[in-house]
A and B are shown apart, each in its own frame.
Chain A
Amino acid sequence: MNYTGEHLLPGLLGHFFIILSLVASLLASFAYFKAVQSKNESDTASWKNLARGAFITETVSVFAIFGILFYIISNHFFEYKYAWQHSSRSLEIKYLLSCFWEGQEGSFLLWSIWHCVLGLILISKGKQWEAPVMTVISIAQVCLATMIVGIYFFDSRVGSNPFVLLRNEFDLKSQIPMLSVGDNYKNYLNFIRDGNDLNPLLQNYWMVIHPPVLFCGFASTIVPFAFVVAGLWTKKFGEWTKAALPWALFSAAVLGTGIMMGGAWAYESLSFGGYWAWDPVENASLVPWLTLIAGIHTLLIYKHTGHSLRATHLFFMLSFGLVLYSTFLTRTGVLGDTSVHAFTGEGNSLFNHLLIFMGLMLFPALTLFVVRYKQIPHIAKEEQTSSREFWMFIGSLIFFLSALFIIIATSLPVINKIFGSNFTMGEDAAFSYNRVIIFVAIILGILTAVAQYLKYKQTDSKFFRKKIFLPTIIAIVIASLVLAFGNINYQDHGVEFLAAIWLAMVCSIYAVVANIGYIWLGLKGNLNLSGGSIAHTGFGLMLVGILISSSKKEVISWNTNGIFVPLGENKITGKAGENLTLIKGLPATMGNYNVIYESDSAHPKKSLWYYKIQFKSKTSNEQFTLTPNAFVNYKGNQGLMANPDAKHYWDYDIFTYITSLPDPEKNKDTASFKETLMNVGDTIFYTKGFAVLNRVKLNDAHPKYNFAANDTALVTTFTVYGADSSIHTSQPVLLIKDGKINSLPDTVLAQNIVLRANGVEENKIKVGIKESGSILQYITLKAYKFPFINLLWAGVIIMVTGIVISIIRRIQLNRSGKEIENLTL
């Protein structure tokens, strides 16, 4: 059967390129493998040439798949399931790319694209390491290609193809009865006029840039891993470290940026009031970064002293392994009941598929590592306690152990599955992490501060004391000032935890000061060499920012209002609730602010509402308006999806989001108008007061409407006297247009009444009054004050800048072939 309006060519091309990419990556893997294995140099060269050709073909295919899918999405070809499921006509152009990462197929495609880009760089710069490293990457590419191939292998479908047609995936006739009528099925596209749209949570600018960066970070962890495998495979143990270091640094920088961009997204668009919630999905991306940092440090130890090569192997293998494991955790739905993030997988077939992917990548690598472990060079003589490498190694261990702790805690659902237990996180999941990680912060803070002042191999203690004296004094002074005047008084978890916070604060300030100091004291202000110190300064600053912002976060929407809510007091905890209800037009107090819910407006195309809330400080003339918004009953996402709004100051943010809105179903106005004939001066009563008709005038001035001379609009003006001794003005209008009488009622929100002028009889105005409880317009919101969140963001930026400086320097050193002197990074 031919269907009207379908565009089948892009899909056919897409299928072709998917098959081509799978075949090409298989060929590349095989050819690179042969290039490494063949003894004869001309054989190696010809295998390598073949492999390169295959890899470039593969790259072209992957980009073509991406381009075709983008073409389909941006042209709204809803005959393709992917476009239908993840986009809509009303989707802004900037979010079209986000459709890629909403779906699983697009995510794997993005991962694959980054592998291709990294692969091309490795082909041009990899030299002797190209063949073994690219073998590993090509095998990973085979696995990723199978993720989107979508062919049946016996009874189960392998992968999920982004080019499948909607009509093949759904039995459209059973879904849309109209299609069974006559020729309608042939024209089924006429019935599918719009797509399912992108999840509203992803319609945020961070979601345009965060996933590609994060995926680049994930993808790049394969490079250090591949170098480890290459070293073990070719038995050139340790030689790979020089070439791998800039890659590992790159990976750390990009993955770190990606994770914190996710934090920024969570902060600005997820309504859990923070940038980090120890959600399994967040943990899963953090853990590979921690082991990567551990690996970078042990690698530096190896370069300078020859120690810790074995540990470096382990850490880099682990980083990539954890990336795969994270994908497994977040994509297969194992986490199910524990994560707020919205991911599901394809069920069992993806579950097994990812397990095979993990096994295929990790099993050979681990086997090689175990078999050749003894051959990896190591130094029997042990490190001095006064040496830099000793403490760097301890720092790496701490990173590794905290990664271990976090991943074990995150894997509870997996542990339950394996052992049949039924554990879940306790009452305060975040605190279960924080109480451990705070000690990690303390130890890392001190190590970050001190380790650079030690020299490799051995440090003269007089030299060390002389150098570190000044930074220590400065840090103590600053830390004392912060603790004395910063009012860091976090009460939620008792005195011990507060003490730990104080200690961690001192240590992280020490880390910042000592590393800034080291740039001058140790490196004489030479910025080219200071990548490490700058990165460490940023890391310290991040710790400070995390500690201050989380321990001094304030809820300002405490429901102590008392006007509406005598029940606001939570009798069990003795605490007021965190939500505050604001009634439109009615001023309320919230923390240090007088707030008023002024107005709302709707997005022209979507069921998206904006709520204008004015904040006025009680103590200063500070004044601003926040406009949080919310999707209401949006495309199958019943209820409300709120996006916060924040006012940013350099030292704190005021942050608010909607938590509840009147239910439109329950809010239907059931009361009716009571009608009376009135003259000017007459009074009409309602239960809580009365209204006096003051004036009736043709085309009178009106706050809402502008009547021209040729209009016929009777404007009636009432003064409403509430029993609460409030006085309001109301101006319903009787508009005569095209020979018809239109009544334009006016609402007095504060009194819950509606007045209308409905006609003229016996020279009197027919006035209607309606009272109801349901015309009340209100919003319920939460508001927070976040202090010093900018320290965290600044810390991230400085840290990444430091790493980038190190990458540049490492690449330069590798080019010039010089060995480095006694300096970190």
Chain B
Amino acid sequence: MLYNSLTRNSNSCHIYILTGYITNFCATFAHSSLLDRIMKKIHIVLLIFIAATIAVLISFMGTLSTYDTVETALKKKGKVVSIIAKLDRTHPVEYDAVKNPNYLSFMAYDSLGGNMKVIYRKEKPTNLEHSERLVLKGKMNDDHFECSEILMKCPSKYKDDMNQAKKNLQENAATTPPKNSTTQYQ
């Protein structure tokens, strides 16, 4: 946690220092008479802004994380990564809201077969069991993946998904037996 806030602060410091440096640089230049003839103020402003934008983008790149597999994440312990994985249904999903509503633990595996235990200290996403795919963001620890964000790909969320629509069709028909077939549909 401490480590993180430090890196974050140093990131925002980059912007301050970089923009500050560029502003100073331009200001000294702006006073020279040579520049007055070649460049307009608006050009200087543009230059500053371009520099600032680049600085912002570079520092933004610094905050990005990457998609990893269990294997590569193990090599980056303590670093924030995103892992695309599937819920391992052969193991129970551990969540008891009465005991602790802020503790969820389950097993997940990635496309290369890497296995890991995931701990998520928030509520259980309600359709976890029905998810097709999980995007897990967090840090790999020695014995588990400390997850800070779960994004689920659920068939149900996507109503344009034909497979789900077909399934609903079946369920619908199964739960509503036909009346007399001569009955007009109302």
Contacts and interface: CB of A to CB of B under 8 A. Distances in A.
Bind each other:
yes
B168 A196 contact: yes
A431 B11 CA distance: 12
A635 B168 contact: yes
A621 interface: no
B154 to A, nearest CB: 8
Nearest to B180: A190
Contact of A409 (B15, B60, B95, B153): B60
Interface in B141-186: 146, 148, 151, 153-162, 164-173, 176, 178-179, 181, 183-185
B106 interface: no
B66 interface: yes
Interface stretch (A21-29, A579-587, A680-688): A579-587
Contacts of B129: 638-639
Interface residues of B, number: 79
Contacts of B184: 4-5
A85 B159 CA distance: 8
A172 B172 CA distance: 12
Given A337-B135, A636-B156, A570 B102 contact: yes
Contacts of B135: 337
A367 to B, nearest CB: 24
Contacts of A640: 126-127
Given A190-B181, A662-B97, A636 B164 contact: yes
A170 B169 contact: yes
Interface string B87-128: 000000001011111110000000000000000011111111
A429 B17 CA distance: 23
A581 to B, nearest CB: 5
A493 interface: yes
A344 B100 contact: no
A71 B165 CA distance: 22
Contacts of B172: 192-194, 196
B164 A432 contact: no
B117 to A, nearest CB: 14
Interface stretch (A390-398, A516-524, A719-727): A390-398
Contact of B82 (A401, A424, A580): A424
A371 interface: no
Contacts of A436: 56, 60
B42 A383 contact: yes
A709 interface: no
Contact of A660 (B5, B15, B60, B101): B101
Nearest to B13: A496
A175 interface: yes
A424 B65 contact: yes
A559 B122 CA distance: 11
Interface stretch (A11-19, A61-69, A698-706, A775-783): A775-783
Contacts of B24: none
A366 B92 CA distance: 57
A517 to B, nearest CB: 27
B160 A660 contact: no
B28 interface: no
A184 B13 contact: no
Given A342-B159, A570-B121, A583 B98 contact: yes
Interface in A156-189: 170, 172, 175-176, 178, 183-184, 187, 189
A782 B124 CA distance: 12
A808 interface: no
Nearest to A567: B100
B121 A427 contact: no
Interface in A601-654: 635-641
Contact of A579 (B40, B102, B157): B102
Interface centre among B13, B159, B161 (most CB of A within 10 A): B159
B60 A405 contact: yes
Nearest to B171: A636
Interface string A380-413: 0011010000100110011001001100110010
A583 to B, nearest CB: 7
Q: Chain A interface residue count: which class? A: 35 or more
A574 B176 CA distance: 52
A581 B9 contact: no
Given A176-B170, A494-B9, A425 B123 contact: no
Nearest to B183: A190
Contact of A581 (B1, B97, B164): B97
A572 B146 contact: yes
B37 interface: no
A424 B67 contact: yes
A487 interface: no
Contact of A337 (B100, B151, B179): B151
A240 to B, nearest CB: 24
Contacts of B77: none
Contact of B122 (A494, A572, A578): A578
A117 interface: no
A776 B98 contact: yes
Contact of A497 (B12, B40, B98): B12
A175 B170 contact: yes
Given A436-B56, A559-B102, A638-B130, A191 B159 contact: no
Interface centre among B97, B129, B173 (most CB of A within 10 A): B97
Interface in B4-35: 4-5, 8-9, 12-13, 15-16
A483 interface: no
Contacts of A189: 185
A745 interface: no
A463 interface: no
A187 B146 CA distance: 55
Nearest to B133: A337
Contacts of B185: 4-5, 189-190
B127 A493 contact: no
Contacts of B173: 175-176, 178, 191-192
A126 interface: no
Contacts of A338: 151
Contacts of B176: 191, 193-194
A422 B123 CA distance: 28
Nearest to B9: A494
B86 interface: no
Contacts of B127: 637-640
Contact of A423 (B5, B66, B125, B128): B66
Contacts of B41: 382-383, 385, 390
Contacts of A184: 178, 181
Given A408-B57, A432-B60, A638-B130, A342 B157 contact: yes
B169 A192 contact: yes
B9 A496 contact: yes
Contact of B40 (A176, A382, A494): A382
Nearest to A492: B5
Interface centre among B15, B52, B125, B166 (most CB of A within 10 A): B166
B121 A572 contact: yes
Contacts of B164: 636
Interface in A551-602: 559, 564-565, 567-568, 570, 572-574, 576-581, 583
Contacts of A102: 159
A559 B101 contact: yes
28 contacts: A5-B184, A85-B165, A102-B159, A175-B169, A178-B173, A192-B172, A342-B158, A344-B158, A345-B160, A346-B160, A390-B41, A393-B42, A397-B46, A404-B53, A409-B60, A423-B61, A426-B63, A427-B137, A432-B60, A432-B64, A436-B56, A565-B101, A568-B100, A568-B102, A577-B102, A636-B168, A637-B157, A639-B129
User: Nearest 6 pairs between A and B by C-beta?
Assistant: A577-B102, A639-B126, A5-B185, A639-B127, A659-B123, A640-B126
Interface of A: 4-5, 85-86, 102-104, 170, 172, 175-176, 178, 183-184, 187, 189-194, 196, 199, 336-338, 340, 342, 344-346, 382-383, 385, 390, 393-394, 397-398, 401, 404-405, 408-409, 412, 422-427, 431-432, 435-436, 439, 493-494, 496-497, 559, 564-565, 567-568, 570, 572-574, 576-581, 583, 635-641, 659-660, 662, 776, 778, 780, 782
